[in-house]
Chain A
């Protein structure tokens, strides 16, 4: 039996797996994606961890009924003692599912590994935390490669916990534009950015792990050594503690976010995007964030 504390309900394995799929369908139907997927290629941004593996598994499973193609994309950021184990699990999963895996090296594409970035941060040479660099570079490469293989959509493994943490982080930063932008689907109004969607948007991290176990999926339990440096890590512990004492907190926060997105969406004008003067990718500035960081890193490394 599986207990969903926020609902006060216990489900058997079969009912839980059905519930899980219903929540994924809620994203696909609610955003109108389902009717547009036929004949298209969906690239799943995968890491070998439970969330993106679940996203890959379930999107592959649904692909036959809804007639679309699925491929997996891994951005290898070069974190030793972590990435090689997760990548191995991912390769095995892709073989099992019969999914094509595209592997991209961050070192080759951006000139650095996140291990190098973390070292520069630790030595006080770089103000940015490894997670910030990793996030920007990852999204950048994901978009380039998904476009290169002709994908119409990119799916990511973000779950409800991630969304709530991001919501709180955006409140702390006072970033209303990001609150409006970060929904179950992101539809950019410029051609070079591929629309992204989040099949696990309404599912908690715990539900994601349960699905992973019940489907017999496997991953080595190694953690990114830099995760603890991020604000997200602290927020996660705090929000989980609130959830423990007041079940339903996370779902209520997601609902607040959704109603804010609706209300603010009409008032907040999203920044107009133009092309990065260096790489040509969309940006709201003269130079995109990925190029900006790349230049800064090159300067620090040369010095």
Chain B
């Protein structure tokens, strides 16, 4: 049986938890196929000014977000 419209919409959405340092934790829902660059755009962050980590590993901006993704975003710019 074909999935209903709303179900297929849900299947195309991914949950992602973002720990923005130092601001704190955020939960977001993004369409499947979203890459890190888009996520940073949504969060109004310049990729030049942050580093995104999945676990302990830095990841590049062209990497796709996976379901239940857990990311850490560290701001590069600091005063002093």
Contact = CB atoms under 8 A, between A and B. Distances in A.
B79 to A, nearest CB: 2
A2 B63 CA distance: 11
Contacts of A47: 80
25 contacts: A1-B58, A1-B59, A3-B62, A5-B47, A49-B80, A82-B80, A205-B76, A205-B77, A206-B48, A208-B76, A210-B51, A213-B51, A213-B74, A221-B21, A221-B22, A223-B78, A223-B80, A224-B79, A227-B78, A227-B79, A228-B79, A233-B79, A240-B48, A243-B48, A244-B46
A139 B21 CA distance: 31
Interface of B: 21-22, 46-49, 51, 53, 58-62, 74-80
In this complex, the interface size class of chain A, counting residues with CB under 8 Å from chain B, is: 20 to 34
Contacts of A214: 58
Contacts of B58: 1-2, 210, 213-214
B76 A206 contact: yes
Closest 3 CB pairs of A and B: A227-B79, A224-B80, A224-B79
Contacts of A227: 78-80
Contacts of B47: 5, 244
A223 B21 CA distance: 12
A254 to B, nearest CB: 15
Nearest to A230: B79
